[in-house]
Amino acid sequence: MEKDFLPISQQDMEKRGWSELDFVIITADAYIDHHSFGTAIISRVLEDAGYKVGIIAQPNWKDTADFMKLGKPRLAFLVNGGNMDSMVNHYTVSKKLRERDFYSPGGEMGLRPDRATIVYCNRIREAYKNVDIIIGGIEASLRRFAHYDYWSDRVRKSILVDSGADLLIYGMSERHMVEVAHALNDGLAAKYVRYVNGVCYMADTLEEVYDYVQIPSYKQISEDKIKYAEAFKIQYEEQDPIRGRTLVQEHNGKYLVQNKPEMPLTRAELDKVYALPYMKDYHPIYEKAGGIPAIEEVKFSLVSSRGCFGSCSFCALTFHQGRIVQSRSEESIIKEAEEITSLKDFKGYIHDVGGPTANFRQPACSKQLKEGACKNKQCLSPSPCKNLDIDHKEYLGLLRKLREVPKVKKVFVRSGLRYDYLMADKDDTFLKELIEHHVSGQLKVAPEHVAHEVLKHMGKPAGKTFDKFCEKFNNINEGLGKKQYIIPYLMSSHPGSTLQSAVQLAEYLRDIHYQPEQVQDFYPTPGTLSTTMYHTGLDPILMKPVYIPKSKTEKAMQRALLQYRNPKKYDIVYEALVLAKREDLIGYDAKCLIKPKNYKDVSGGKKYTQHTGKQSNKPLSKQSNKPSNNRSNDKHTGKSVAKRDNKRHVR
């Protein structure tokens, strides 16, 4: 049969000669058959394993009609909340409704419910009383234990309990999804598939659960923040496929059981997943609505790896993809690049070659694949581990080969780069070629902050690492005769950030003559270490208190300080400096951030009540030591605000 999208209607099933499906996938995203989307991968993996799969994308959840349009599946409904947690998709950090949904036709909002996984499961139960329901994807994966929910400001039960599903599959679930499918096909009910790694299930007793660690219960962590932090620490430490143990958490007399994570895919297995017959586009039913915006970011990009040993505290990757990096072979990636060049709208530009962290192509050290990632030690924080394998040769070789693919004009690297890992490499060959061939005028990196106490809680490199990286970047550009710039991502109000910390960051921006166009407030999303700090006021690893900026006023102050040149923010910046007892930064000296209120303009004698300094959000330029006059934007791709809010929440 000619390659095609999977069935979304009875007519599609009839074309294939199918009267019944084995699995029906319900997803909160529009149907995009591209391997950057979880629904596409799982559907194609199951198809490759011999199962008949259909897709119901963004069903109308007000009644059961849409949930029944493909009939009752022979084996199970598979439910996911989309490529992002549905609450992050809907709301900004200030809990205001977003204007666009990048995973919906034409970017239209309102095509998915809040807490989509739970709502969809409820509708399926209304439609079919006796059918197995399995939940997965980012929303289920990061809410598998009882967890703090930022939007309701309370601890919620495991999503497996609230959804009433029979089984939860967490992580990047290709291998264990097929194993579960085979068990169902052999006649086992989903709720009894309890022997597979990477799944969670509910048990009435613990009689048949062995070698487990019991963490504080839902009731305990709801009532006691210390217990919450203790529970998270155990989850965090046991999140490893080699040394991790089964975890148990009581929920009102029943037990949530999490089997240890599944082992990462081998390179051959990963290559096979990415070689499946994806259509590499959204379904044509969305054409009239203008397509799906999310495809623009990935259509001409190449996924080279998954997993990350960077372990930023605000990132959910540890609980979803894991710390052990896996990568595709050069042959697999180059073959896909050649396929991309044949697409009718390909302009010669490969937008990205990377993953969660582009310059990670192998496990952090040989020990990880034998003994697992270290339980009480990070690979890069507070400084690179002495056992860290630092090598960019393979990645560099891949980029060189991609540059030679016919029809390819330029290959960009726009995934996150760990600049501390780059700086730890004594060989500058990769950095030089990155700057010469793979930067489109601006290189986006994420120092996030400069204050030591904030970086410590973020799990980011402290000291002068970022400054040294900028210096090296600028020197290489100067040697190449290029004018390229660093765009730093910055975050305000992260746990550990006091008003004084924010002032310190503002002073740093003053000294480098840069003001960010956008500032990201810390967003407490499910499943991260930072969210646990936000909720409990404790660092769960050290069990020590952490300062948490929670009031709207202070968060607004911290954000405004990073854009202190903006005249609209003068009053709140003034108030923040007074509150921080930093009136020394209000005045006429070059070190001052703003001028005093009611100062006189000597040229005209007119009184002003606002700061009149010109706002600058241009990228950094060493050549002038001032913001660059280069206003060019990254025209080939751009991260959506929603994706930045849900930093590195993938699949």
Give a yes or no: residue 267 inside a domain.
Answer: no
Give a yes or no: residue 493 inside a domain.
Answer: yes
Cα dist from 648 to 187, 312, 428, 537, 619, whole Å: 37, 10, 27, 24, 23
Q: How many angstroms separate the CA atoms of 414 and 489, rounded?
A: 13
Does 613 lie in the same domain as 649?
A: no
Query: Do residues 263 and 323 touch, judged by C-beta distance below 8 A?
Result: no
Does 59 lie in the same domain as 159?
A: yes
Does 640 lie in the same domain as 629?
A: no
- Domain end (from 199, 226, 260): 199
- Residue 302 has a pLDDT of 97
Give a yes or no: residue 390 inside a domain.
Answer: yes
Looking at residue 357, which CATH number applies to its domain?
3.30.750.210
CA 544 remoteness from chain centre: 27
Give a yes or no: residue 109 inside a domain.
Answer: yes
Give a yes or no: residue 467 inside a domain.
Answer: no
Q: Give the tens place of pLDDT for each residue, 552-584.
A: 999 999 999 999 999 999 999 999 999 999 999
Query: Do residues 273 and 174 touch, judged by C-beta distance below 8 A?
Result: yes
Cα dist from 344 to 35, 337, 339, 340, 510, whole Å: 19, 14, 11, 9, 46
Does 415 lie in the same domain as 450?
A: no
- Residue 647 has a pLDDT of 38
Average pLDDT estimate for 266-289: 97
- Residue 428 has a pLDDT of 96
Which H or E element spans position 257? strand 254-258
Does 451 lie in the same domain as 333?
A: no
Indicate if the pLDDT at residue 601 is higher than 70: no
Alpha-carbon dihedral sign for residues 626, 585, 617, 415: positive
Does 643 lie in the same domain as 618?
A: no
Does 481 lie in the same domain as 399?
A: no
Average pLDDT estimate for 169-194: 97
Average pLDDT estimate for 25-44: 98
Indicate if the pLDDT at residue 645 is higher than 80: no
Indicate if the pLDDT at residue 382 is higher than 90: no
Give a yes or no: residue 275 inside a domain.
Answer: no
Query: Do residues 324 and 368 touch, judged by C-beta distance below 8 A?
Result: yes
Q: How many angstroms separate the CA atoms of 550 and 543, rounded?
A: 20
Q: Which domain holds residue 629?
A: 444-456+476-633
Give a yes or no: residue 248 inside a domain.
Answer: no
Q: Give the tens place of pLDDT for each residue, 403-428.
A: 999 999 999 999 889 999 999 999 99
Q: Give the tens place of pLDDT for each residue, 298-350.
A: 999 999 999 999 999 999 988 899 999 999 999 999 999 999 999 999 999 99
Give the other-Cβ count within 10 Å of 506's Cβ: 25
Does 599 lie in the same domain as 567?
A: yes
User: What is the pLDDT of the chain when averaged over all its residues?
Assistant: 91
**Burial class (CB within 10 angstroms; exposed 0-12, middle 13-18, buried 19+) of 11:** exposed
Give residues with Cβ within 8 angstroms of 16, minimum separation 6.
Answer: 1, 7, 52
Does 507 lie in the same domain as 415?
A: no
Q: How many angstroms separate the CA atoms of 484 and 482, rounded?
A: 6
- Domain end (from 182, 199, 216): 199
Q: Give the tens place of pLDDT for each residue, 488-519.
A: 999 999 999 999 999 999 999 999 999 888 88
At residue 622 the predicted structure's pLDDT band, cuts being 50, 70 and 90, is very low
Does 435 lie in the same domain as 392?
A: yes
- Domain end (from 199, 216, 240): 199
- Per the structure, the count of domains in the chain is 3
At residue 628 the predicted structure's pLDDT band, cuts being 50, 70 and 90, is very low
Does 152 lie in the same domain as 91?
A: yes
Q: Give the tens place of pLDDT for each residue, 432-459.
A: 999 999 998 999 999 999 999 999 999 9
Does 434 lie in the same domain as 322?
A: yes
Give a yes or no: residue 287 inside a domain.
Answer: no
Q: How many helices (H) and strands (E) does the chain have?
A: 23, 26
Cα dist from 224 to 166, 251, 547, whole Å: 29, 15, 18
